Structure 1
Amino acid sequence: MVLNLDFLTSDETPNTTNLNMGSRDGELCLRFDVPSGNEFALPASGVREVMSVYLDRITPIPNASPFFLGTYNWRGQVIWVADLGQFLGDQVLVNTDRNEVSVLIVEEQELIMGFAVHTVANTEWLDVNQIVTGLDNQQIPAAMSDFVKGVYTTTGSEPRELRLLDRVAILRSSQWTI
């Protein structure tokens, strides 16, 4: 459905700051995990697409960084696909023995990249007031500390920690050397 505001005849713009979003308080995030079982979240605003990619469609590039699985033709544009868990310091690699891998297409301005992950869980509204920032080294491994905005503890029968990632820091990292 397209919203067309041309029918407004007054010079006033509608006040959209008081919209009732119900239980949608906070930031919409995409939940996923890497092969080691660690759970992460990315703000959905930077995720362009979530897809399952046949591994034979990813072209390996010799002598590239070990984080890279290769390149992929996404909508006519060649993008890099990387093992996000390995980039963040996980020892367990994405299973390339399967036919397909889950890939998050993430964008920041002119940078577009694919991140291979183990499983994409769902989207969830995270209450930004409950995200713990300024964590010490005991809670976040050193390899990922520059890329984690904070930790959100889920509620429910089995509380879990979600590490909220900073997509800009990841995409602009100097570790992406080819």
Structure 2
Amino acid sequence: MAESLDIDLANSLNTLILDPLPPETRQRSLRLALGHQDSAIVPLDQITEIFNIEIAKILPVPELPPYVLGICNWRGEMLWVIDFYDFWGHESVQLDPASPILVVIVVQVNNHSIGVGVPHIGDVEFHDLQHLQPVLPGLFSPGLLPLIAGLLPENNGVVLNLKAIADCPVWKSVR
């Protein structure tokens, strides 16, 4: 009797063996709000750190574009912070007196760090970034195209390349 149970158990287990799962191709990404209705996705591997700061603690620097908020102290170093809403072409985060706190996303490129300021961040999501679609001409202004890695199908949003911010001409004048 025990032998027949062992054989039945072995046969049952053989039917439960599953094919191996395909390799995971999705990447962890952070959803950012861009204005009141738009959002974008940033792969987490582009982000060094995220922290909150009072906008009043960012020291403005004169004669720079309005999207450059100024500099702040980050880990004992000077960090340039940009207003990503203004940079993207939306209403500046500085115009909202109800929100004196800014979320700063630190991006490092070639040993230089830049802070990308947004009013808030969304959730971490998983996306298959291998299926990015190219950006169609006319959807975004030509100045923003270097920041856009592509579009995710099924309206999941724009995928940003925040490291491209380091190539903006404004940084050549302040370094």
TM-score tier after normalising by the smaller chain length: 0.7 to 0.9
Asked which structure has the greater CA Rg, the reply is: 2
Percentage identity across aligned positions?
Answer: 20
Aligned-pair distance for 1:35? Answer: 2.7
| Equivalent position of 2:105 in the other structure | 104
| Cα deviation digits, residues 116-156 of structure 1 (max 9, x gap) | 113200211211233212x22233332311210101145xx
| Equivalent position of 1:15 in the other structure | none
Aligned-pair distance for 1:54? Answer: 0.9
| Equivalent position of 1:137 in the other structure | 137
Structure 2 CA distance, aligned partners of 1:21 and 1:94?
Answer: 43
Flag as ranges the 4+ runs of structure 1 deviating above 4 A: none
Higher helix share: 2
Query: What is the Cα-based RMSD across aligned positions, in Å?
Result: 2.4
Question: Can you give the 5+ residue segments of structure 2 that lack an aligned partner in the other structure?
Answer: 1-20
SS at 1:114's partner residue? Answer: strand
Question: Can you give the 5+ residue segments of structure 1 that lack an aligned partner in the other structure?
Answer: 1-19, 155-159
Structure 2 CA distance, aligned partners of 1:59 and 1:95?
Answer: 13
SS at 1:142's partner residue? Answer: coil
Letter in 2 for 1:67: Y
Q: Does 1:167 align with 2:162?
A: yes
Structural mapping, 1:19-168, within 5 Å: 25-88=25-88, 90-96=89-95, 97=97, 98-133=99-134, 135-153=135-153, 160-168=155-163
Letter in 2 for 1:123: V
Aligned-pair distance for 1:163? Answer: 1.2
Structure 2 CA distance, aligned partners of 1:175 and 1:132?
Answer: 29
Structure 1 CA distance, aligned partners of 2:139 and 2:116?
Answer: 23
Structure 2 CA distance, aligned partners of 1:129 and 1:48?
Answer: 22
